[in-house]
């Protein structure tokens, strides 16, 4: 802190030091200014914003489509995919689509959803319970809090550790 200066004096000091005079608070009496390298300041600010964006995680909503007559094996397969999506930290939207006269038996769709939720017990939390929207019944699942974080992927595929060594060495 250098003290109170006239504007032309502050500009002269900034030019002598080959820096910029930056107004920090124009509403203060007298206005508060700072002598700094403004280009460097903007660069560092941009890098901080980029780092913050990099740390930020986005949650996707993955959709799994079912029918009221989806077979048991297909449900197992879809349950495996749901587990994988939840392990990655994504939300899952289960949709059961009705066609024709299937709409008269919504309990069949509820049974499908209940079977899937039974397989996912302990891994998923029902964020939005089953709800009919026209000819579609939907449920929204989210990863359970405290679940294991996603495992980091290996940098190199297995078996390629010695690939950069010449043969016979």
Give ranges for CATH 3.30.110.10 in the chain.
61-143
As annotated, the residues of the chain forming the CATH 3.10.20.80 domain(s) are 7-55
- Give, for all 169 residues of the chain, the pLDDT tens digit: 778 888 888 889 889 999 998 888 888 888 899 999 999 999 999 999 999 888 877 778 889 898 888 888 888 898 899 999 888 888 999 999 998 888 888 888 888 888 888 888 888 888 888 888 888 999 998 888 765 555 444 444 555 554 555 555 4
Burial of 56 (0-12, 13-18, 19+ CB in 10 A): exposed
Pick the CATH number of 7-55 from 3.40.50.2300, 3.10.20.80, 3.90.660.10, 2.40.50.140: 3.10.20.80
Global pTM reads: 0.55
- Is the bond preceding 30 in cis, omega lying within 30 degrees of 0? yes
If you write DSSP's letter for every residue of 33-68 in order, what string do you get? Answer: EEEE-HHHHHHHHHHHHHHHHHH-----EEEEEE-T
Tell me the CATH number for domain 61-143. 3.30.110.10
- Does residue 66 sit in helix, strand or coil? strand
């Amino acid at each position: 802190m250098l003290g109170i200066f006239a504007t032309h004096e502050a500009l002269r000091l900034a030019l002598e030091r080959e820096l910029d005079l930056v107004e920090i608070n124009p509403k203060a009496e007298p206005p508060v200014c700072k002598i700094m390298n403004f280009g460097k300041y903007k660069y560092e600010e941009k890098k901080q914003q980029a780092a913050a964006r990099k740390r930020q995680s986005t949650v996707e909503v993955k959709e799994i489509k079912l029918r009221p007559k989806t077979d048991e094996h297909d449900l197992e397969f879809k349950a495996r995919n749901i587990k994988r999506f939840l392990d990655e930290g994504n939300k899952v939207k289960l949709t059961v689509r009705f066609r024709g006269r299937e709409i008269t038996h919504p309990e069949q769709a509820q049974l499908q959803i209940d079977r899937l939720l039974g397989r996912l017990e302990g891994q998923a939390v029902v964020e939005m319970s089953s709800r009919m929207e026209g000819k579609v019944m939907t449920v929204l699942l989210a990863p359970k809090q405290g679940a294991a974080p996603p495992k980091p992927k290996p940098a190199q595929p297995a078996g390629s550790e010695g690939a950069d060594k010449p043969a016979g060495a």
